[in-house]
Amino acid sequence: MNWFKLNLLMVLGCLAVLPSSASAEQPNVLLIVCDDLNTHVSTSGYPHINTPAFDELASEGMTFRRAYCQYPVCGPSRASFLHGLYPQSTGVLDNKLDIRQVRPGTVSMPQCFKNAGYWTGSVGKVFHNEKIDPGGIAWDEVLRFENDELPIVTPIRKKFEEENGPVTNGKSRREWREIYPTIATQTRGQAPGYGPTGLNDGQHKDGKNALQVKEWLTDKVNGERPFFIACGLHKPHGPFLAPDKYFSMYPKAELKFTPASLEFWKTVPKLAQTKRYGGFGFEFGVENDDLRRDYMQAYHACISFIDAQVLVMLNALKECGHWEDTIVILTSDHGYLLGEKFMWGKVMLFETCDRVPLIVRVPKSVKGTATIPGSTSEGIVELVDLYPTLGDLCGVTLPKELQGRSLEPMLGNPQLGGKDFAYTVVSRGKDLGRAIRTKRYRYTSWATGEELYDLQTDPLEENNIANVAKSRNLIEQMRKDLVEVEIKASAKKR
């Protein structure tokens, strides 16, 4: 064999192990994931808040009105939909576990796209944190930002440093970390803190995230490759901080909510109850109207703030000429309770905690799959469906182990039904609460009992009918359905 042929074979051999090259005809992807965002957005039918960017995207795409997370906590939810697997299969059932440790070799969504030749970029909170983020194996570039220092903090910090030295060093650092949460409600961290910051949009991490996406698009960092850009917006996750102008949009006296009923607590298993109200400053059974309005105002301000950042990114796509060749998905990792049932936060198996906004916009350039502008779907879908959906739309070869189901057929036909069940789980110590949501009912099984709600007659899930005699046959069927779903959800364990 001559030297030329030997070199040619060596080159071909090297090319065989390199990532495949994406076609210039393949669509780009912009995936926007909000953090702790419930359905308090106009596209989900919530009338008390302004989300014009959500509305604009919905006017061009499809809104899924019944989309559900698979675990109502950040880390497990993101591990699930970013790997296309149910939580029992990922093995990630809390915020501390890393899928690379409990299920090594699992290929994430961005890694799959990078392997297919896409330029991949991540900014903000996409994976749960920096330790869990796969880094260069999945991303060509990955960035996270922090908020600028709050103006109310600056003079206090400077005075402290004059007396104790830099807050970044040793003993001074420890003392400052103890003082910082006491400065104002805005500095309380995930206690949670709340309030206007005195900063502008671009001084907040989410403002920086949106501007980074715009910069990538403007600079054409992807070159000749299609791009897969994921932007993780941190809000409305606590602390509930936003620029002052967004707080002024929601005067506290005008906020609308129903006082929490304690009757609910008498009918559900103890494992279904959470006492996080204490961490929010509430005394059980005491309706602190003013404090609840503080939190609601702040949460809504955060939603309007991130809505403005979504608009920055949508406008950037248009300005850079990518509006007609980019698939846009806007969603959240899970929902959030704001005092309903006298419960606060996440980690619960209720509609407000498990249902998420989901809007998908596919341009006409994606042949045969373009979304009908302004369309809505009432079919049940899950976040675990996002990975196979994007793979199908972009012509990317997917791992065979994915458990979600592509939404592509539904995108062009709003009348198509979705799944029979949405499946969501949550841990309680060593036990696992498991829930299925059908078109009409939500059934939840705990180690200490069961819940059943008829969402047609009881949309707020305040009347647990699991122990009602007339529900006996329905309960038995739901138990069988849950077993069927669990077999599927656990099928990909290693």
For 469, what's the count of Cα atoms within 13 Å in the CB-facing half-sphere? 0
Tokens of 205: 């991490």
pLDDT at position 22, please?
66
**Contact by Cβ (8 Å): 71, 383:** no
Q: What are phi and psi of 329, to 5 degrees?
A: -125, 130
Please state the separation of Cα 461 from the chain's center in Å.
Answer: 23
128 sits in the region (left: phi over 0; alpha: psi -120 to 50; else beta) called alpha
pLDDT at position 296, please?
97
Residues of the chain with pLDDT under 70: 1-24, 492-494
pTM of the model: 0.94
Give the SS3 label for residue 22: coil
pLDDT digits (tens, 9 = 90+) for 351-403: 999 999 999 999 998 877 889 999 999 999 999 999 999 999 999 999 999 99
pLDDT digits (tens, 9 = 90+) for 103-132: 999 999 999 999 999 999 999 999 999 999
Q: Cβ–Cβ contacts within 10 Å for residue 470, how many?
A: 7
Helix then strand then coil, % of the chain, to nearest 5? 40, 20, 40
Name the architecture of domain 21-147+197-417. 3-Layer(aba) Sandwich (3.40)
What does the alpha-carbon distance between residue 54 and residue 168 come to, in Å, rounded to a whole number?
40
What does the alpha-carbon distance between residue 346 and residue 354 come to, in Å, rounded to a whole number?
9
428 sits in the region (left: phi over 0; alpha: psi -120 to 50; else beta) called beta
180's CB contacts (< 8 A; 6+ apart) are 153, 187
What does the alpha-carbon distance between residue 125 and residue 32 come to, in Å, rounded to a whole number?
10
What does the alpha-carbon distance between residue 317 and residue 323 come to, in Å, rounded to a whole number?
5
**Contact by Cβ (8 Å): 229, 31:** yes
pLDDT at position 20, please?
55
Q: How buried is 488 (Cβ within 10 angstroms: 0-12 exposed, 13-18 middle, 19+ buried)? A: middle
Amino acid at site 107: V
pLDDT at position 493, please?
58
pLDDT at position 10, please?
30
What does the alpha-carbon distance between residue 410 and residue 408 come to, in Å, rounded to a whole number?
5
Q: Cβ–Cβ contacts within 10 Å for residue 173, how many?
A: 13
Domain with CATH 3.40.720.10 in the chain: 21-147+197-417
